Amino acid sequence: MAKKVLVVDDEKLIVKGIRFSLEQDGMEVDCAYDGEEALEKIKSKEYDIILLDVMLPKLTGFEVCQQVREFSTVPIVMLTAKGEDMDKILGLEYGADDYIIKPFNILEVKARIKAIIRRTSPKPREASQLIENGDMRLDCQGRRAYAGGREINLTAKEFELLELLVVNANKVYSRENLLKLVWGNDYPGDVRTVDVHIRRLREKIEENPSEPKYVHTKWGVGYYFA
């Protein structure tokens, strides 16, 4: 089945180029040129991934991302202009999974899209599909997480990060190691990406994020699950 991609950018030439290239790879591509149009399409149709520009008419990419996260965990990749470092961090704060810096190479865009879809698509596992540690339970095939009996709404990257930590409970991972294992060797971001995701993860799974029960910090070393 063809993967469904939504490309959102008010620069029609950029959208046209991305759409043509992705369709050449057999993907089904929809387009939107402002934030309100993007939201309408996301609410009416399921997508495998969304490419979302930061600077949009009517609603910014940040506002769209924030509203989408209220009802969906679809992977979102923000498109941000070169050097706009704060945009990258804000995108992650609002629930984006990744970002690509403009101007970009379309081959890089396609590679990143395929990697994210591959990681986030449900896969059959020969081993147990459920991981339990205390009152934390992960359904790895369905990519659903439960803490204290309640389901936690996690983005793709948040789930991957939590899964790694839970499977390797009590093992301390440095921020650099987590960036490499969860985001990959070719990810252009820095360790602040990890810090942002850990903070968001704690806000979702911990009763008191400032006194975490699950995801702990080993000062000067990194993070671990206990």
Q: What one-character-per-residue DSSP string does 179-206 give?
A: IIIII-TT----THHHHHHHHHHHHHH-
Longest CA–CA span in the chain (Å) reads: 52
Decide which of 101 and 22 is more confident: 22
Please state the rounded mean pLDDT for residues 100-109. Answer: 87
Decide which of 95 and 173 is more confident: 173
All structural domains of the chain, each given as residue ranges with its CATH number in brackets, are: 4-120 (3.40.50.2300), 130-225 (1.10.10.10)
**For residue 65, what pLDDT is reported?**
93
**For residue 127, what pLDDT is reported?**
47
Please state the rounded mean pLDDT for residues 88-102. Answer: 81
Among 2-6, 182-186, 222-226, which is the least confidently predicted range? Answer: 182-186
DSSP 162: H
Please state the rounded mean pLDDT for residues 146-173. Answer: 90
**For residue 32, what pLDDT is reported?**
97
